Structure 1
Amino acid sequence: MNDIVRFDVSDGVGVITLNRPERLNALDDAMHPALDEAFIAAFRSKEARAIVLTGAGRGFCAGADLTRLDRLAEGRGTNYDVPRPGTLSTAYAGLGLSADTASTYTFPLAMPKPVIGAINGPCVGVGFVLAAACDVRFASTTAKFGAAFPQRGLPAEAGLAWLLPRLVGRNFASDLLMSGRMLGAEEALRIGLVSRIEEPDALLNAAIAYAHDIAANSAPQAVRLIKQQLFDGADESFGDAARTAHDLLIERLGSDDFVEGIASFREKRPPRFADL
């Protein structure tokens, strides 16, 4: 595993750490393939049933590194190297994932496991996209969020204009995306962008503990289905979502996981669910 993005697994939880603390974990050209590699390792890991995504040092991800932005500006975008959604990069080929979501910036959406963002500091630009793509976000008291795209003359990147209204509503999403302003952890909690705020030295442990609870007590296959329901339901009618839920329920009532879930509850013991 590349040192600029680490992947570590312990007790059912995988932790992906962006590791350029001297640059607030800004993504340069070398960091993109390293992040792809870490996401793939997390996807393939049999031990990791839940994933935490965080940054080393005092930042989560300060967006694209200026060296990368300079290169793109010099080429006026002709050298932009992120595949168009719908086209899988070679890194993600063969994993059986949707080409719409399996990309460097939005892979948490494609991951069949829950991804918890531990936002430990500045979270800007494509870093904001990474955080928004997580299933749940915890923030430290020092976290700051900002889209920054309009200040660079750019639109909201990588589907953020679709994701953000579904997290915080159209009004707040319009405010944040069009102004590009920074908001702190307290405001992020108030508008529903994050679920919890922790002191900086407690954040990662809190996120890992939450992830471990899911890993230990929730059936991985059920979590995968729920995650897909949440994503698909954003554009479905209630009736369509309810019919899908009914069909999935009938299917899962015949599963070994359902039998195990009832047995473990009755016997007051940890469940032994099947892997993905």
Structure 2
Amino acid sequence: MSKYPHVLYEVKDRIATITLNRPDRLNAYNDQLATGIRLAMADASKDPAVRVIVLTGAGRGFCAGADMDVLQAVPTDSAGAANRQASRATGDVGDAFKHKYGPNLDAEFGDMQRFAYFMRTQKPIIAAINGPAAGIGLIMTLYCDMRFVSDKAVLTTSFAQRGLIAEHGISWLLPRLIGPAHTLDILLSARKFSPQEAKEMGLVNKVFAADTFMHNVMTYAGLLANTVSPRSMAVMKAQVWKSYFQDFEQALKTADAEMPPSFVWPDFKEGVSHFLEKRAPKFADI
């Protein structure tokens, strides 16, 4: 059996690509897939050869949401349903998501939250939404740092049409990304919406043509992997997610605390040197 259940994992040119690999089910989500994603993310997080992580789907879909076979098997009595809700990804990842750079996020994004370890991963995570993303598949992308989407994709929350609620932190994340009005629209209606509408809402960063989609995603990922400091990215990512829990003064204090150490990093000296010498940077891996 693969080390990463239902997941393909590849590292190339400082980019780890994690591919959800149940194409016959549009990469529908189950506990095995959850485990595969977590184990792959842990390895990417620990690997100094990785500077950027891209999360995408095999075949024509990103993730069609929860596997309907799993949903049909959920007990409808309250005790059984509670036990099902508690089911999580398995597999020991050790200290893969241990805090190293920037403000500590352990208190805000703990292990009990399904995808919160995405925030604690100190490398940027790009969701490459190559096709339909529904329900928990859409939620997964919200925990990523950026979202790029194919113009052939379709997006939906879907929960209200299944008689469910706003799951896995989406009621907290969505309003912070797109505001309460757009949030309530796509949650309450559970309607399908286009990549272009998602872009207009501010839900995704870029919409790319399907035939050049992964090329464009990897070009951007390569920009991050090869031209900027991994330490800088780690600290700034932590600053931004920490700021969700801070007021303006607290965010300023965090920046003031992080600035002095940045001046003594080798990356600061290299950042100045490569600019003055007009050459490609040689930043240290993390």
Question: Do they fold alike, i.e. is TM over 0.5?
Answer: yes
1:236 alignment counterpart: 246
Contact kept, 8 Å, 1:4 with 1:34, in 2: the verdict is yes
Aligned: 1:198 with 2:237: no
- TM-score w.r.t. structure 1 length? 0.92
CA–CA distance in structure 2, aligned partners of residues 244 and 76 of structure 1: 41
From 7, 26, 32, give the equivalent of 2:34. 32
Aligned residue identity for 1:129? I
Alignment-derived partner of residue 80 in structure 1:
85
Residue equivalent to 1:121: 131
Cα distance in structure 1, aligned partners of 2:279 and 2:243: 33
- For 2:243 and 2:94, the matched residues in 1 are separated by 26
1:50-65 equivalence runs, <5 A = 50-65=52-67
Letter in 2 for 1:43: S
1:16 match:
18
Q: Distance in 2 between matches of 1:223 and 1:44?
A: 15
5+ residue gaps, structure 1: none
**Shift in Å at residue 219 of structure 1?**
0.8
Question: In structure 1, what is the Cα distance between the partners aligned to 2:167 and 2:94?
Answer: 22
CA distance in 2 between partners of 1:164 and 1:68 (Å): 25
Give the Cα–Cα distance (whole angstroms) in 2 for the partners of residues 168 and 206 of structure 1.
Answer: 24
Could you say which residue in structure 2 is the equivalent of 1:249? Answer: 259
Deviation readout 1:37-87 (Å, 9 max, x if unpaired): 21112112221100111001111001110111122245333233435xxxx
Q: 1:222 and 1:141, CA in 2 relative to 1: closer, same or farther beyond 3 A?
A: same
Which of 206, 216, 219 is the aligned partner of 2:229?
219
Q: SS in structure 2 opposite 1:230?
A: helix
Identity, in percent, stands at 36
- On the 8 A contact 2:31/2:87 being kept in 1, the answer is no
**Distance across 1 between alignment mates of 2:285 and 2:50:** 10
Structure number with greater CO (CA < 8 Å, separation at least 6) is 2
What is the count of residue pairs matched by the alignment? 272
Tell which deviates more after alignment, 177-186 or 111-120.
177-186
Q: Give the RMSD, CA atoms, in angstroms.
A: 1.9
Question: Equivalents in 1 of 2:242, 2:253: separation in Å?
Answer: 13
- 1:236 shift after superposition: 1.4
Counterparts of 2:140 and 2:116, CA distance in 1? 6
C-alpha separation in 2, matches of 1:206 and 1:48: 19
How far does residue 215 in structure 1 lie from its aligned partner after superposition? 0.8
- Give me the whole-angstrom Cα distance separating, in 2, the residues matched to 1:104 and 1:20: 20
Instruction: Output the TM-score relative to the length of structure 2.
Output: 0.89
Worse overlay, 69-78 or 257-266:
69-78
